[in-house]
Structures are given as C-alpha cells and as structure tokens.
Amino acid sequence: MRLRARQGEALTGRFVVPGDKSQSHRALILGALATGETVIAGLLESEDVLATAAALRAFGARVERFGPGRWRVIGGPWRSPDASIDCGNSGTSVRLLMGAAAGQGVRATFTGDASLSKRPMRRVRGPLEAMGARFEGGDTLPLTVAGPVTRGIAHVNVPASAQVKSAVLLAGLGTDQPVEVSEPVPSRDHSEIMLAEFGVAVERSGGTVRLGSQRSLSGRLVSVAGDPSSAAFALGAAAIVPGSEVRVENMLLNPHRSGFVMALQRMGADLAMSNIRGQSGETIGDVRVRFGPLFGAEFTPEEIPSMVDEIPILAVVAAGARGETRIEGLDELRHKESDRLSLMAEGLAACGVAARSEGDALVIDGGPIRGGAEVRTEGDHRIAMSHLVLGLAAEQPVTVDEADMIATSFPTFREAMRGIGARIEEVAQ
C-alpha cells in the first residue's frame, strides 16, 4: 500500500498512542518465564509483539487476549518447539527470545523476514556462547539455539544495545553464576526495571548491572505506558506544522527513552510535561507540544541510544527548523530494519531538503520543505511514518512507496494521525 501525506489544517488535540513496544515484548516474555499468572494492560498489539506472543505459545506458555490490549500469560517450564520460530520483522523478539531460550535450555530455530535475515546476530550469539550456550548456523538468521547456558558472564555492551543486554540478563536466569553487563553509554533499562517488578533484583552501580542471586520470577500485573517512539511522530509533526498543538497522555518518560523530547526542547520547541508519576516501575506522564520557531542543533554519539528509534523523525523535525542540525554517531542506524542513515538522507533530499550523510553523521540544513516526491522505504516502518510527517509540513504532498510495514510497530498510525487532523490517504498503485 502507498500512502500520501499533504499539508492541511493545523494539528490539534489528543494523540492516541499505543502501548510501548519494548515494555510489551518484555511483559509477555517475563510472564512466560514466571510462575503463576501475569496480567498485562495496554499491550501493543502490533505485528512485532504478536510475533513474540506466538513464539511464547510455541515455548509452552499460555498466552491469551481477553480484551483490547488486555492479555493474560501463564508461565511454566519451557519446551523445545517442533517448528521454527518466525520472528517476522522483529529484532527485539528474536534477540530477547534467543537469550531466554538459551537460559531455559530449550532447542529452537529462529527465522525472520528478508530485513531481519540481514541483521547482525553475532552480537547476541557471541555473549550467549561465552555463557556456554551452543548455536548452529552463522551470524544471521536462520539460527538455532542448540545447547543451554552453563556459566555466568561479565559482558561489555558496546555498541550500546538494550537487546543484547536483555538477552544476556534473560539467559542469566538459567544459571546461578554471576551475570553482569557494563555499559559505557547506557541503553534503555526496561528489562532491569521489569525483572525487579517480577521479583528478580538487578543491582546497578556506575555503568554496570548485575543479576541478583534470586532468579525465579513471579507473575504480576503490568501496565504498559504509551510508546514514546510512536508518540514522536505526532509530537514532531506538531512542532513543524504551523498552528499545531498536540498532547499525548500516559507516555513513557524513562530517561533512556526521552532523547527525542530533550532534542525538541534543545531546538526551541514549545513543549511541556505534566502529571508525571510512576507506573509498573517506570516514569510516565503527559507531553504537550505547540508549533513555534525551531533552530538547528548538534547531537553527540552519547545521546543517540536515548533516541535511537527517533532519529528518522528527528531528521524530519530538523528539516523544518532554521539552520543546520548535525546528528553524530549513527553507525547503529545502518543495522536497523533498513539502513536508516542512507534512506533518510535519500528521502529528505528527494523532497528538496539539504540533507546528507557524512560518515556516520546526518547533516540537515533546515528551511521551507518542497516535498513533491515518492520516497523509498525498503519496508521500514519508521522511514515510512517519518516521511509522511514530512509531507504534512511540505509545500507539495509526499508519498511513501510501501506503508504496510507500519503495522509492525503502530497499526493504528493513520487513525491516530487523522484524529489530530492529519491528511494521509491511500494512493492507487
């Protein structure tokens, strides 16, 4: 499906954002590892998360939906599935589940779609092998976890990857040996927070996290907050579409996920946070953005992990700002669902924005946005959503060549954007 976005009225009102993808995967996986019942409210029902739910059923857990976003998981001993586990487009599913499977000592073959089959798995396989796990296959999918974790590890997490850290911590549940992960630059810490909620303490000192010695989990209630990576499309759109004012309620405000909100503030956006509170161990709150003048800014490599999935929409915001924005340290973007560094430079340039990649930096000279192009997404959901937002602020409409993959993370994107007044339509092939 091709989608086209065009400039219209100002964007206003409450943006209905679905549950956080990272929290959703983890709630299902920890529920399947726990004894007793886990009830989840606000689960993101996207293709990626549903791939995790299906995988957990194959590993023997009872995973049931009993209402919109409301799920029940009954954990228990894991079994080796008969068929291979298809993780679709989802890097989080495959990397976290490999760690969990190695920890539970089950044998499982993991597969994925064309994009996931190109992404690096050595980064997970390496530390799990250092913990004694055995693998069959290479550095990409398909890959088989063939033998259990037998020892602990002191892993140094470079480049900062929450998926790798989480795989090591989940694998570590299968040993009583010391398991620690050190991070020179911190990655998102939802696994640590949620493990503690399920009864497994994770000590933190400096940049090191260490699994506590009590490693069995008990089922519990998890409330999933609004996904800041999905909210970023509306907040970013409000910042660059004249006259807009948009608010998002109950959004995850974990500092390791708040880089985009901080970036908007640094660029001069009129942004306010309110109603800040705790929920399921996380910090959440409401965020409001009003249109106003924005200015280019510089972002350093250390800032990237806190907004790693928001770089495409940050680049769009930079296109609507006055002056130059430099975003440094984007090598990891080449290993996401697509080479996001190249595709953003290409898509923005096609829409008349002065944008280029310089090594692993993205440099954008903002100003009026011409638009009027069809952009190549290579099936990457965030490339598609970012360019649609660009179209809302451009002089001429912007079309994305393939938008079905938006369902991997944000199946209700179009309705949610239309709800604040965005003009996004399907275009005949």
Q: Contact residues for ligand S3P (CB under 6 A)? A: 22, 92, 161-163, 166, 187-188, 308-309, 332
Please, which residue, 224 or 394, has the CB nearer to ligand S3P?
A: 224
Characterize the bridge pairing of strands 361-366 and 374-375: unpaired
163 annotated as a binding-site residue: yes
- DSSP reduced 3-state for 296: coil
Please, which residue, 145 or 308, has the CB nearer to ligand S3P?
A: 308
380 annotated as a binding-site residue: no
Catalytic residue list contains 270: no
Check: CB of residue 381 under 8 Å from CB of residue 405. yes
126 annotated as a binding-site residue: no
Pairwise CA distance, residues 175 & 152, whole Å: 7
**Structure letter (DSSP) for residue 141:** S
Characterize the bridge pairing of strands 37-41 and 221-223: parallel
Length, in residues, of the chain = 429
Reported as half-sphere exposure (CB side, CA atoms, 13 A), residue 226 has a value of: 22
Please, which residue, 175 or 229, has the CB nearer to ligand S3P?
A: 229
Pairwise CA distance, residues 255 & 155, whole Å: 23
For residue 321, give both structure tokens.
């700002």
Please, which residue, 173 or 393, has the CB nearer to ligand S3P?
A: 173
Pairwise CA distance, residues 189 & 210, whole Å: 12
Identify which of 310, 276, 274, 271 has the alpha carbon closest to the alpha carbon of residue 289.
Answer: 271
For 206, residues 6+ apart whose C-beta sits below 8 A from its C-beta are none
161 annotated as a binding-site residue: yes
Please, which residue, 146 or 407, has the CB nearer to ligand S3P?
A: 407
122 annotated as a binding-site residue: no
Neighbours of 381 (CB within 10 A): 27
382 annotated as a binding-site residue: yes
**Structure letter (DSSP) for residue 188:** P
**At closest approach, how far in Å is the CB of 260 from ligand S3P?**
13
Report how far Cα 189 is from the mean position of its chain's Cα atoms: 13
165 annotated as a binding-site residue: no
Adjacent-strand bridge partners of 354: 365
Q: What angle do CA 377, 380, 382 make, to 5 degrees?
A: 100
**At closest approach, how far in Å is the CB of 376 from ligand S3P?**
21
340 annotated as a binding-site residue: yes
Please, which residue, 160 or 353, has the CB nearer to ligand S3P?
A: 160
Looking at 86, 309, 339, 380, which residue is catalytic? 309
- Tokens 């602990």 belong to 152
The residues that are catalytic are 309
Binding residues for 3-phosphoshikimate: 21-22, 26, 161, 163, 309, 336
Binding residues for phosphoenolpyruvate: 21, 91, 119, 163, 340, 382
